[in-house]
Structure 1
Amino acid sequence: MYRGIMEQEKLPVLPPGCSIDEPETVKEFLTKARAALVAVGIVRDSVLANGKDVGRFSGRIIDSDMHDVGRFLNRLLGLPPDIQNRLFELFTSILDVLVHNARIEGSFDSGIVDMKANSVELLSTPKTVHVDQMSGASTMLFTFTLDRGVTWESASSMLEGKRRDGLGSANDGFFESKREWLGRRHFILAFESAASGLFKIVRPAVGESIREMSLSELKTKYRKLSSLEKARTGWEDEYEVSSKQCMHGPKCKLGEYCTVGRRIQEVNVVGGLILPIWGTIEKALSKQARHSHKRIRVIRIETTTDNQRIVGLSIPNAAVETVLQDLAWVQEIDD
């Protein structure tokens, strides 16, 4: 981020409040951002060049500041609200891009991941996939069905509840994306959160988003709908379509294995005795074509009907057959 603000490299995202069609808005933001970083002491020895490089800014950021997120966030508090909010939004947007890329490359490590959804059900009776000869302990394969979606009725109730409790704002409501994605517009519910100026986002397919959205970003990407009927039709259509396909549409290269934006997902978890077969599972996953399927993830999942909690290794749907084959081979060796 710092290098982008200093124009040493290109920013990976469009700065908040800027337009790709108006390059001067980006230039203006970078000028204000540099001045802000100088003001709080992050950029040092700043110089504004004269002569043939007139107007060109230079300065340095010491190594200890370059990667110190805590210091950056603390220094933000000393800035006026407008540039403070815009710099923080730029920071979170870049972080989202980095996390997204790390997930694709399979290099993102989030520790134990809680798999949450509005409905979590055990699809079938757990299958024994390995029995340790020494202890007699079993390794089980659990298959769950997750429904992350929010119905129109639930979304409407959320909005009405906010208004009834006097917690709503004039900008709360249902929105439609300004741009189409693969021929479709997307619908969201947005309502102001406890943090002033930020909005919680609820989507038909995946429920409430972890990341809140600023009002400027909301208005840039979406338009508020005055017609509840249009909002209802769009919401229900997206809710239904997302039960069968991912957000990339019916022609997605990964087909049924892609879960991006898919409302109903099938999740496979290997639980029970894990350590003796960890290496076997790791080797099986290493054979997968996609980087995101190669990494072992420990997840925790709890059914919503009977609160059965399972902690184990997440097995991508595309890798289940390979994992089971390798475990069967190990079992034959043990026998």
Structure 2
Amino acid sequence: MKKQIKELTCRALHNAVAAYYVLDYLAHSFPVQLYEPFTAEGNLSSRPVFRDGQPVESREAVARRNELIERLASLPPVPGALDQIVQRFGTDLVAEVTGRSRRLVRWGDRLAVENRAASANLAETAAFMDDLKRVLVFSEAGGTGRSYHAELSARNRRLRVHYLLEPGWKADAAIQGLGRTNRTNQAQPPLFRPIATDVKAEKRFLSTIARRLDTLGAITRGQRQTGGQGLFRPEDNLESHYARDALRQLYLLLVRGKIEGCSLQIFEDATGLKLMDANGIKDELPPITTFLNRLLALTIDLQGVLFTAFEQLLNAKVEGAIASGVYDVGLETLQAESFVVTDRRPIYTHPATRAETRLLTVTERRRNRPVTLDQARDYLADARAVLLLNERSGRAAVQLPAPSLMLDDGEIERRVRLIRPMEHHHASMKMMDESHWQPADRETFAAAWNGEVVDVPEFADSILHIVAGLLLPIWKRLPNDSTRVYRLQTDEGERIIGRRVSPAWAANACANGASSLTPQEAFSALMEGRTVLDLAEDLQLRRVRVMGTHRIELSGFTDAMRDRLRAYGLFSEIISWKLRMFVPSDATGAAVLAKVLDHYPVVRIGEREAA
């Protein structure tokens, strides 16, 4: 029955819209005037033919126009989204809350027009909330003054999966619609799913609503995260400064001929945008909004080529910013099993108001949720998945394909994704070829994987250092590598909002200086990657990445120190014909580090610059 509704509505829509607009456009705008060739000053040209002052039509062009009109008129109608949903699932399953007063339905083998009463929307809403209908479709007419969330008092407390089909251009209206399924007193929050086709330029519209939602959230709530409802990813905003940087890099690659499938000439001819002048590449290149608008006029294939290259560059910019901790996500809420404030120290007091800036030491406890063996095996549903075992460490991993990365010089870096029990990361194919990862059979893989899962503790504790209270007077004294603002709630109910700082900054901010950093805190700070410890006798500890994994490396040692350092528990490897020494990254690392710091005290605590 639902299919018939959709077909009828779609046919009516097709005939009314497609016939009226497309066919009428062809009838009046298709070029049918006859032209004749002529020669002027040795140049062959053409001109329109007139007879008795009237233009002469080309019989061939008229025949082609009529044939095209007949072909378009004979095409099957394209259903609208609403009618497709109603037709696919049926009116017995779909509750429709829209402004339509009439719709096409199928009764048996016939199509009929159904009149909808003014109270139809109330009845449809009640049917959905009472779990009589599983699917709800609502438009802007049903997007205000109603609630469709998993209310605790309703029969239907199922998880809502909210598909955002047509977000429109009004950010406040989009928030109204999103708020219908995400409200207080609900059993569970919904899952938001923006819908887009594989036509690349369509992301232009999602980008606009994402930017406006973020802007509206920053104005009304003081945080971009709340405005966008967590619906969009950083890459979805195509008008951010990351996107502008990626676009300029795309222009440079086009000029150098590094974009496969689109030369500079093809790009300029298709978009009408000029990147070069007499002096070379222009200083004022076309802005991001112009580029995105011109994409809409390109062929689907050319859209795919340009937008794919642009997306790869944008993803690389965003991933780099997130990895280095400089990506601004606004006010971010920290969540864990437990937060306990273990130390409070005032580090600044305002002379006039006596308001304090405090350095808080917070113990964070998170529940470890390792990937089980069954979950790891589920990845084998992808035919490209490979089970791996590290010959040196005995660790197991699942290798999956990952998006390639476009480097600054236009080269494509092929990458894979490694899934491990407690982590996952990306690695280049070149790095994998040089590593000790080898394919493994299922039995060997299962034994190694389960061995790692068993060793994972139920909880993991870590130390956070939060600067809270009065921040503006000392804002410039805080680390400039990350300006993120976090909020959390402790077990006692205390709400904390402030800037997170590294253990190195916290140690230097206290009166005791470097001695206030315990071996466990030093180990955690080094593994976090933002701290460098300078030790006595010109030794230095810092985090490095070797074969895709993070390690703590001790550099600056002499030949006479090797045996002593090995006795402390450090291990060595020869990498690129050079001996390097590392602190174990497992549970024994803090104890090994304590022995090193006992013999080689910390001279200075430094902070690594963001990559």
Normalising by structure 2, what TM-score?
0.29
Give the TM-score normalised by the residue count of structure 1: 0.46
Compare CA radii of gyration and give the structure with the larger one.
2
Greater RCO, 1 or 2 (C-alpha within 8 Å, sep 6+): 1
